[in-house]
Amino acid sequence: MREEILESGVQLFLERGFNAAAVKDITDRAGVPKGSFYNHFESKEALAEVALERYGETRRMGDLADRSVPPVERMRRHFEFLRDELPEFTKGCMYGNFGAEVVDHSEPLRKRVKGGWEYWADQLAAAVAQGQSEGTIRASLDPQQAAYYLTSAWEGTLLRARADKSAEAFEIFFAVTFDALLA
C-alpha cells in the first residue's frame, strides 16, 4: 500500500506540482482510503521528500558517466531522454515544480531540490571536463559553470515549453547548447 501511494505521489507531483496534487487525489489514484495515508507517511511534505528521491533515481544520471559513449553524445542523449519522458507540456520536472512552488516554505524540500540539482550539475560537469580533455568541447568553458548553466537553461526551457505548448523550446535548447555553447 505504501508503494502505491508513493507511485501515485510521484505521478501527481510531476503532473500538477505540489499544491495542486492533494493528498486525496494521491490516495484516490493509488486506490487506497485517504485515512491510511498517515499510516505510511507522516505528512504530505514527507511523501514529497521520498517522491523526489524516487523521481531522481529515474533520471538515469548514470548515463552521463558512461565512458563507452563520447561525452557530447551522452549529454545529448541525456537531455533527449529527459525530453522524451515528458508528459505532454504539463509540468515536466519535479525539481523544477518544487523549486517554483515549495522551496520558500519547506526547508527539507529546499535542501533536496538544491542537492538534486547539484548532483545533476556535477555529473554534467564531469562530462564537460572529459569532452574538453578529448577536444570535443570548447576548452575555455569552466566545467562547473557550464554545467550549472545547463541545468538552469533546461529548467527554463521546460517553463517556456509549457507556456508555449510547443516543442520548439527543446529544439532551441539543443541547437544552442550543442552547436553554440559547447562547440
Which chain residues interact with its own copies by CB under 8 A? 16-17, 19-20, 90-91, 96-97, 99-101, 103-105, 110, 113-114, 117, 138, 140-142, 145-146, 148-149, 151-157, 159-160, 162-165, 169, 172-173, 175-177, 179-181
Q: What angle do CA 66, 70, 75 make, to 5 degrees?
A: 75
d(CA 74, CA 167): 21
Q: Least distance in Å: CB of 92 to DNA?
A: 21
d(CA 16, CA 22): 10
Q: Least distance in Å: CB of 67 to its own copies?
A: 25
What sign does the dihedral 129-153-20-85 (CA atoms) show? negative
Q: What's the grid cell of residue 36?
A: 491510511
Binding of DNA by 101 (CB under 7 A): no
Among 32, 94, 158, 169, which residue interacts with DNA (rule: CB under 7 A)? 32
